[in-house]
A and B are shown apart, each in its own frame.
Chain A
Amino acid sequence: MRLISFFAVGIVFGIVMTKSEAISWFRIHEMFRFESFHMFGIIGVAVVLGILGIWAMKQFKVRTLRDTLVSYTPMNLNVKRHLMAGTAFGLGWALLGACPGPMFVMLGHGFWIFTIIILGATLGTFTYGVVRGRLPH
């Protein structure tokens, strides 16, 4: 039952990502070229509403369905790590015009190249797991 709920939220996510056009390679490309406000508008509204909503959920001590309070486990701050990781991710994001969420949604659209992209992402994840001891954290 619980898994079906998450599957259902995933369906909504796939539809939202499609109708917002955030899955479009072209939208991401024009964003990085600063030739449209569209993606900045989407991310900006999501972040501002996200901050307000999460603040309110904490403020009013909303209980989650798992009977916990809304919280976040903070990462320890390591500027070098965040910048290096973010930059690697950004290089791939701009090339593919897709971050992990849209990769799955685009697969649903029938763009089979995303099977290769998801395979690449899995290999990248595996490589991180192997070399992580040698990276700053």
Chain B
Amino acid sequence: MELILNPQEWWQLLSQPWHWAVSGAAIAGILFLMTWMGRSFGVSTAFKSFCHIAGADKHCDFFNFDLKNEYWRLAFVFGGVAGGFIAANFLQSPEPAAISEATITHLKDWGVNYPEGNGLLPTSLFSIFTVKGVLLALLGGFLVGFGARYGDGCTSGHAISGLAHLQLPSLITVIGFFIGGLTMTWLIMPMIFG
């Protein structure tokens, strides 16, 4: 039977970049798994735990909570780091992400030669060895952390979980994600990188 694959062929199949429909279904699968395990699918609250661990609970009531109730999320997040390590070292794609020619051409104007950073990150813009790279990393991280907590959720919490539960606040938050994302991409980034 052609359909039956041996383990090596399975591994090769898994290492290919996945079709968007397979990827979307896999993300929904993780949502179901987390829901069945009695927890919500949300990542950004992990930053709140980091604040607690760093001692913010002594300065501000918002960070005063029982960390034990958040262990599961920290385990999930550290699993994500491990999953990234495994994927990077044992499941390498044969080729970088097949992004559109239009994007590749436009990025040349910013001095980005695709596929730098394995097709995952423009390392010429975001380098830990440049002042600009570090400042942008801090600024971007700050906006994500602030916005996620003010909105009480990030992409996983609102765009996936919240929408799956048909929550209007989540839909409005996702619209906000796109207002911010489009403003950054079309107005601000051309000023920073152009």
Whether A51 pairs with B72 at a CB distance below 8 angstroms is: no
Smallest distance from the beta carbon of A5 to chain B beta carbons, Å? 7
Chain B residues 172-186 with CB under 8 Å of chain A are: 172-186
Whether B35 pairs with A70 at a CB distance below 8 angstroms is: yes
CA distance A104 to B48 in the complex (A): 15
The CB with the most chain B CB atoms within 10 A, among A77, A86, A120, A129, is that of A86
Describe B's contact surface by its main secondary structure. helix
Chain B residues 102-127 with CB under 8 Å of chain A are: 102-103, 106-107, 114-115, 117-123, 126-127
- B67 in contact (CB, < 8 A): no
A81-B151, A93-B181 given as contacts; is B143 within 8 A of A101 (CB)? no
Describe A's contact surface by its main secondary structure. helix
CA distance A108 to B77 in the complex (A): 11
Smallest distance from the beta carbon of B158 to chain A beta carbons, Å? 8
Whether A112 pairs with B172 at a CB distance below 8 angstroms is: no
CA distance A127 to B141 in the complex (A): 12
Smallest distance from the beta carbon of B180 to chain A beta carbons, Å? 2
Smallest distance from the beta carbon of B64 to chain A beta carbons, Å? 10
Whether A29 pairs with B185 at a CB distance below 8 angstroms is: yes
A92-B141, A121-B142 given as contacts; is B99 within 8 A of A84 (CB)? no
In-complex Cβ contact of A46 among B31, B175, B179 (8 A)? B31
Contact with A along B21-43 (1 / 0, CB 8 A): 11111111011111111111001
A33-B103, A46-B24, A92-B144 given as contacts; is B48 within 8 A of A117 (CB)? no
Question: Which residues from chain A contact B133 at a C-beta distance below 8 Å?
Answer: 113
A3-B71, A124-B145 given as contacts; is B30 within 8 A of A16 (CB)? yes
Whether B83 pairs with A77 at a CB distance below 8 angstroms is: no
A12-B30, A26-B114 given as contacts; is B147 within 8 A of A90 (CB)? yes
Smallest distance from the beta carbon of A16 to chain B beta carbons, Å? 4
Contact with B along A48-84 (1 / 0, CB 8 A): 0111011001000010111110101011111101111
Q: List 22 A-B contacts (CB under 8 A).
A: A10-B75, A12-B33, A12-B79, A16-B83, A20-B20, A20-B24, A29-B185, A42-B23, A51-B163, A77-B168, A83-B172, A84-B150, A87-B176, A89-B147, A94-B185, A95-B189, A104-B46, A104-B78, A108-B83, A114-B137, A123-B138, A126-B63
Q: Which of B's residues lie within 8 Å of A, judged by CB?
A: 14-18, 20-28, 30-40, 43-44, 46-48, 50-51, 54, 56, 59-60, 62-63, 71-73, 75-88, 91, 93, 97, 99-100, 102-103, 106-107, 114-115, 117-123, 126-128, 133-134, 136-152, 154-156, 158-170, 172-186, 188-189
